[in-house]
Every structure is written in C-alpha cells, then in structure tokens.
Structure 1
C-alpha cells in the first residue's frame, strides 16, 4: 500500500496470509484503528490488534513508562491518540519530546522543539526513515527528514527510537501472535530499515523492490 492505494497484488497476498498477517509500519501520522478502517474501505480486513504503527507504539511505550507530560510533534490524529492514552501532548513542563511525521512543521517551528531537550528532556523519534516511496516509487519526506533538520540545528543530538530498524515492534508482534522468529518472515520494501529490523529480531526477510510506476 502506498499513498492510500493498494498495489495490484496486495489483496491476494493478504488473503494468502489470512489471520497470520501482522502489519508493522513506521508510519507515525496514523493509528491502528484508522488504518484498519482505511484498509476495510479498500476491501482488506485486518483487525487493529494486528497492526503496529511506530508513532502510536511509541506513545503507548511512553505511557507505560509513566510519562504523562509530553511535547508532541505530530499530526492531529496522533495528538488525539496521546490524549486518549492519558498524555498531555502540549505540556509546558514535558517529561519527554516525541517527534513524529508532521507536515505542518516548518523551519520556524522545529527550533523550539529543542528547547526542552537542551534542558535534559529526552528526545524520542518515532522512526528514522528520511523518506518513503509513493505509489510510483518517488520519495516522500518522512520523520527522519525532520530529525535531520534538528541535527543540522544541533550537531551531536541524541535520541531514542523504537521504530524500524530497531526490532521492538517486530518482537512485540511475534509475542502477541505467540510465534518465534523461526516461525515468522518479514516482508518489506526498505532493506535499510525493514531488513535490518528483521535481522535484529532474528527473522527471515523478503525484500520487495519495485520499478518506478509499478
């Protein structure tokens, strides 16, 4: 799936996987509930419990760690999800800063995100992808592009991340499914993130490579 459209072979692949299918995505501008609804509208039935999204996953992790006050750079859907989890995403005295994909960010709004980090507040990043491919294979700016801008402002910046290429979401998905790495395979289109995440989780990896426009 790319830019809201399915590739022509997606439905057959999902049908072949059946209930074994889990979606592990670095997307940080949506939620499992929203993606499940979107997929349903496209003819695919994937329960929200079978979907992990990097932004939402990180919010849930922070909530479990006892974080309640947050500076959240994210799209409106993630802001609402943070509030539903009991977090204040616009706290004046944050315990953490979380950077997600947010097209509303500009050169004027990115700099102030570093103010609490300069005071020692930990920075979390939903994923480090600089871009993702659109339906024609062309790059679309991602959260990692925003991170690159912050690093340009403050060289030596440190952060935490649970998104791919880190293994956290893959390990969580397998645990929820009651499977071991040897019983699982990860399919993805980015060897630098998907492939490395699979390797870190001890899984086999199938790399999907598309020609532009295919």
Structure 2
C-alpha cells in the first residue's frame, strides 16, 4: 500500500498524461468551507480533467458548484458527482413518481420534487436517508418504524463522519443509520455512495475515459480507496492534518 502523500507531491508526481483526475471533496479539497492547501493549483492545472466524486448528501451539483465558486474554485456542475443526488436520480429512474419518505436537506428535497418523486412520510413506498441536519428524535423513531416494516431504505452514503472546518469529526449519514440499526438490528439498506463504485464509474462514463486513463485522489482507504479499486482506477491517498507526509518523489515537475 502506497504511503499517503501531500497534494503538492501529487501535483509534482508521476501521474502525467491522465485524462481524468477524480477527487473526493471533504478532507481532500475542503475542510468545512476552508479550501485546503494547494487545491487552487489542482483546479488550475487539471482544468476540465478534474471531477469531484463525493459522498456529499447535503448539496446538489449546481449548489455545490455555486458554493465552490464563492470559495474561488471554478468547476462546472456537469463534473460534480454526489452520492445524495445520484441516489435520488437512480430512484426516480427506477420508480417514477414513487412516494418517498425523504430525510435529506432542502436542496435534495427540491431535487426530489423536480424529478417527480412524491415526498410522503405517512404512507411511503421507500425511504431516502441522507445527512438531514434537521433530523429529530421523532424522525429517528419514524425511520426505525419504517425499517421494521420492511420498507426499502436508500442510504445516500455509509460514512459515519466527515471532517469539519477545524478537522473535528462531524456526524454523517452512516451515524444516523447506526442509530437505526441499533433499534432495528435486522434493518437493511442500499447505498450508491462510496465504497460502492457507482460514483467513480459514472465520472468515467461522463469523461469518456477508461479506468486506466484516470486517477482518484482521496483521504480514506476504506471509502475512496475501495471505490477506486472496485472501479479499476488507481488510488492515491492524500495526507490528513497531523499525518506525516511521505518523502518527496524524485521526479520532475509535471502537470496532472
């Protein structure tokens, strides 16, 4: 297993000629709303070969693109793949007009309606559970009730946390799901989020490149690395705050 490296080492490393650079978001490009070191250079040097592949379940691609622009990072929404949005699009394609108990933030609630899904927590046909920051005790009880009744649960991602602005772990969708399974141990879910390969595979499809012509950068082996491996893409793990970077690679400076 390759040692984690800094982003500048990645930019100066031997990944010259890759047609697509897939990148995780939280802990890789951003920490909260703080742009991490060397990220603007990544955007500038990779340009339209850069793709965000994230388990984010709070934004849609357009809202994230707008948020990034406000941080000085320009990236078209067409090159942003998010687990929450992909979950809703897949469900709408498979079950048009379905009644869904939505436990997601407002941008995804709006997207669900735009896709023709019917928000319904009283008599739903399935449940979509994301990082709902307005989630209440009563909501957890209701989700557990629906899971116990055997409804299909679509989890936007299984992550239990993501790094906040200061690196402190923040609750994620998987932490909510852990509470549900503590109440209903037999509960089962389906997720397209990493470590599943759906997001990187869709990025490759949109980019029109083969797995061997791409590289994936992220900060976790268990999610980013596993998704990259399943999609057949080389994975490079970036160091997290507090980690010691590997020794610099003895190569010339290349564009990515």
Q: 1:143 aligned to 2:168?
A: no
In the alignment, what sits opposite 2:82? 53
CA distance in 1, matches of 2:243, 2:63: 27
3-state SS in 1 of match to 2:118: coil
Q: What displacement does 1:114 show? A: 2.7
Give deviations 1:100-144, integer Å, cap 9, x for gaps.
001211333201113333333211100000001123322111001
Query: Is the Cα–Cα contact under 8 Å of residues 217 and 235 in structure 2 kept in the other structure?
Result: yes
Is residue 2:230 matched to residue 1:189? no
Q: Is the 8 A contact 1:52 1:173 kept in 2?
A: yes
Distance apart, 1:15 and its partner CA: 1.0
Q: State the SS of the aligned residue for 1:28.
A: coil
1:115 paired residue number? 145
Distance of 1:93 and 1:111 partners within structure 2: 15
The answer to whether the 8 A contact 2:112-2:118 is kept is: yes
In structure 2, list runs of 5 or more residues that go unmatched: 1-29, 245-256
Deviation for aligned residue 1:96:
1.4
Contact kept in structure 2, 1:129 and 1:145, CA below 8 Å: yes
> How many pairs were matched up?
214
Q: Does 1:92 align with 2:122?
A: yes
Summarize the alignment of residues 119-130 of structure 1 with structure 2, pairs less than 5 Å apart.
119-130=149-160
Q: 1:31 matched to which residue of 2?
A: 60
TM-score, normalised relative to structure 2? 0.80
Q: C-alpha distance in 2, partners of 1:211/1:81?
A: 34
Q: In the TM superposition, what whole-angstrom CA distance separates every residue of 1:180-209 from its partner, at most 9, and x where no partner exists?
A: 110111101111100111111111001012
2-side partners of 1:177 and 1:65: how far apart? Answer: 24
Q: Distance in 2 between matches of 1:73 and 1:79?
A: 8
8 Å Cα contact 1:5/1:135 also seen in 2 = yes
Secondary structure of 1:27's aligned partner: coil
CA RMSD of aligned residues (A): 1.6
Q: By how many angstroms is 1:22 displaced?
A: 0.6
CA contact (8 A) 2:147 2:184 kept: no
Higher-Rg structure is 2
Stretch deviating more after TM superposition (85-94 or 184-193): 85-94
Determine which structure has greater relative contact order: mean sequence separation of CA pairs < 8 Å that are 6+ residues apart, divided by chain length: 2
Kept after mapping to 1: 8 A contact 2:150/2:187: no
- Aligned partners of 1:147 and 1:114: how far apart in 2? 9
